[in-house]
Amino acid sequence: MLLRMQPLECAARLFAEAAGAYAALQPGERQQQAPIAPAHCPWFMGKLLMVLLQLVLQVCEHNNPALWQITAVLRKSCVLEHAGRLLLALGFLARPDARLGMLSTLLESYTHACTLYERLDYEQGSAEQDVVVADFCEALSGRCVRHVVLVHGLAALCAADGGPSYGEVLAAVPIAGAGGMFAFNLRRRHGRQQLSPLLTRALMKALVLSCDAGPPGRRASVALLLRLVRLALASARVWNAHPLAAAGAAAAATAAFDAAAAEECIPPGLQLPPRPHEERLELVLTPDDSPDVAAASLREVLEVLLDQLEGRPWGSCAWAAEAGAEWWRLAPAVALETMRWACASTARQMGELLLMALRDMPPVADGLPPAPPLQLACALAGGLLPCLEHLLRRAGEQPACPEGQVVAGLLASPSAGDILQRLLAYGEPRQAAALVATVAKLLRRMDPSAVNVREITLEEEGPAKLHGVTMHIAFQMLSSGQHLVGRGFGGGGTATAGGAGGDGGRCDSGGGGAKRLPGQQQQQQQQLQQQQLQQQQLQHRAMMRLVVCEWLPPLSRLFLAAMALDSACLGRGATIEDDGPLQVIWLLLRALCSHCHCHGAGSGYGSQWRALVVDEACAVPLMGVSLRLAQRPGGGAPAGFLHTADHLPELLDTCRAVLLACPEAVGTAACATAAVGAPGSQAPVGSGGAAFDPASASRRFGWRPELLSGLLPEGATPRLDDRSRFACLAEALAARLKSWIADGGVPEGTDATFYVPDTALRGAPTLTDLRGALRTCSHRGCVSLAGGSEADARLQACWGGCGATWYCCRECQAAHWRVGHKQECAARRA
């Protein structure tokens, strides 16, 4: 129909005739409001244009083969350009409100046409289609229609933020308000009024096209798009401060439309009486429009900047670098303050937008430079680190909220580990430590029944999405930190604000005002760069060690509870990835065991790490349940899912490390398990978090000698070759357990014998030093996410007066007392 009956060409001729007729009116005739001809009624013309564009969009949605022909007709007819010329002609009338009847339909039609252009630009393939798309872009950038959209949008922006008008006279341009079937003028309104979403979205589309073709050009378009973002952010802050007003925003817009319609019925010569105590006009976007406009404008600005730079560094173009810094000042605030009103897709796109802005950085494995890249420095200066923590805390309390979608869009990617490492390495230490503590609380809150111990999967939808993302980033970070952990945590202390080298970095000329030679200046600059590099490396290592110490214990408990709850299903011969999450946990446990006994590393050094491995990480029952899931097939039962050639050596190496580092804990648990009998008669371990009971888990999953022997094939004997090394180790560990069970416990004088060279731990920080970057709740099972950041949490001193522990609430203090702090507190006071 759109091709045979030629409605687009007919509408274009009708618009052209009406525009000429209205433009030819004499000054005395412009007072009348009636159209020159019934067919030239602006309301009728606007409805005609909207119906035609809706038909074109329906063709587009159904993938009709005639779409490209219809697009060519739409471009050749210049119907949008003639509609814009008609609106300009309507501006000659005495009252500008006469053209608002058609303005809203033109704005909606222009937005739809721009959406059609974006789809065609994405789907183009042949040379003929490329020509059609280029011509269509030129038609959308026509002088009249573009002038109408830009002028009305700029008038609304200037009235809202008081910014520059760039030489345009906008006092007589009406401002389209939201509510009702058509736009209405907000010029004579007062108080808080809502702008029409059609106006802001059409302005956004026009600015995007202006970046590629026609004025105002890239730089001015980016500046206007950033003004749109600031307006959307200010509007969201208004609605955040008045959530009840936001709930009634639609009703308020309708009431404003009715009031404006009543005023339009008043004859032009009659003046309205002044309203007493009129409020200043405050223009805001609607609650639903604020996040969409902010996210879409940020996306367009970022695409323009990336295209302008074309792979060059961010500082290579002055205006682009300035716009990039402003982008990062706005983006974290938009993600934090406007996404509350966003739908799931918009929130997810906002997270992906943040991810896209952090691309094109070398991987962390290649080493980190002394100073962060410019885009990362702008992101940190804009507050990305506390913003990410705040989003995680909101998503943890309400997993289905839009903030959870922002987190998923940013962190559900293969590069999430590198991004977090950079944020922790270059960010403010307290903010970085607060983010680490928040993720640790999210891990403690997870449900063990939803954990897949074989592999880390990302759920597509629902509250489980946050759980998958949290596990994803946790294991990415722990896997990335293996090279730092595996060297024994040695090689430097924690990061400090004063630098790494003390006074060693000074380069005195010795002569007061004496001039430095070029060689001396170069040497001083090299020393300064070396200091910066050392300081950055210190903070990177300290934060990665803190990640291991804070995240490994809840992960270990979580996997222990998950395997205990579903041990029957896990033992049915299922396979597991060679580099699965359990192998990461085992590797880090072996590294931590190297710290449990070290002579000369400081008083109490080993006991701190032993408490982390035994009490917090529950390494003994974790390896106990792992042994049960690695048994050989026999008696009609299949092999455990850990009974593979890749996992048995690592499993035994980890058991050896735990036994040698914490013999008393292993022996006590083995004797308790042997005394109570088979583990199948015991009560379930329960869920993770604060309700987890390590004592019951140790009694249920203590090591048994037959479990170690059950790792070997039936009737196998140990041999001294590489293939059977694990068999010898299994027999040796089983013999050690048998002797301890026969003796009723570990003989006195048996101490941790894990050998670590003294040089490996020389200068290594203690666990207290690592956790001293930020004071948090002393209860290791705390899962409270109240407030916006761990760095801002108000902590209460221990009510026992020991002065060594601090708590976020009375519940955490009571729970800490129940797990043993009551006795420690009394001992400290004594």
Which residues are within 8 A (CB) of 247 and not within 5 positions of it... i.e. 6 or more apart?
none
Predicted local confidence at residue 87, as pLDDT: 83
Predicted local confidence at residue 274, as pLDDT: 46
Using the predicted structure, report yes or no on whether residue 506 has a pLDDT greater than 50.
Answer: no
Report the 3 state secondary structure along 712-742: CCCCCCCCCCHHHHHHHHHHHHHHHHHHHHH
Q: 3-class SS at 637?
A: strand
Q: How far apart are CA 52 and CA 745, in angstroms?
A: 87
Instruction: Parse the chain into domains and list their residue ranges.
Output: 566-762, 774-829
The CA angle 546-445-291, to the nearest 5 degrees, is: 90
Predicted local confidence at residue 265, as pLDDT: 44
Q: Give the mean pLDDT of 83-93.
A: 79
Q: Which amino acid is at 449?
A: S
Using the predicted structure, report yes or no on whether residue 273 has a pLDDT greater than 50.
Answer: no
287 backbone dihedrals φ, ψ, rounded to 5°: -55, -40
Could you report how far apart the first and last alpha carbons of the chain are, in Å? 94
Higher pLDDT, 3 or 85: 85
Q: Give the mean pLDDT of 113-123.
A: 80
Q: What is the DSSP letter of 818?
A: I
Q: Which amino acid is at 391?
A: L
767: which 2 tokens? 């666990």
CA distances for 236 relative to 247, 390, 418, angstroms: 13, 17, 32
Least confident segment among 252-266, 277-291, 429-443, 550-564: 252-266
Chain centroid offset of residue 807 CA = 28
CB-based contact 496:772 (threshold 8 Å): no
Q: Which amino acid is at 485?
A: V
Q: Which amino acid is at 440?
A: A
686: which 2 tokens? 């329960």
Predicted local confidence at residue 682, as pLDDT: 44
- Binned at pLDDT 50, 70 and 90, residue 21 comes out as confident
Q: How far apart are CA 676 and CA 670, in angstroms?
A: 10
Q: 3-class SS at 427?
A: coil
**Mean predicted lDDT score pLDDT of the chain:** 78
Q: What is the DSSP letter of 463?
A: T
What percentage of the chain exceeds 90 in pLDDT? 26
Residue located via tokens 């048995």:
648
Cross-strand bridge partners of residue 806: 797
Residue from 568, 559, 576 nearest 447 by CA: 559
Q: For residue 216, say if its preceding peptide bond is cis, omega within 30 degrees of 0.
A: yes
Q: How far apart are CA 826 and CA 656, in angstroms?
A: 36
- Report pTM: 0.85
CA 250, 254, 255, 256: dihedral to nearest 10 degrees? 100
Count of C-beta atoms within a 10 Å radius of residue 320: 22
- Binned at pLDDT 50, 70 and 90, residue 811 comes out as very high
- Binned at pLDDT 50, 70 and 90, residue 721 comes out as very low
Predicted local confidence at residue 70, as pLDDT: 76
Half-sphere exposure of 610 (CA within 13 A, CB side): 19
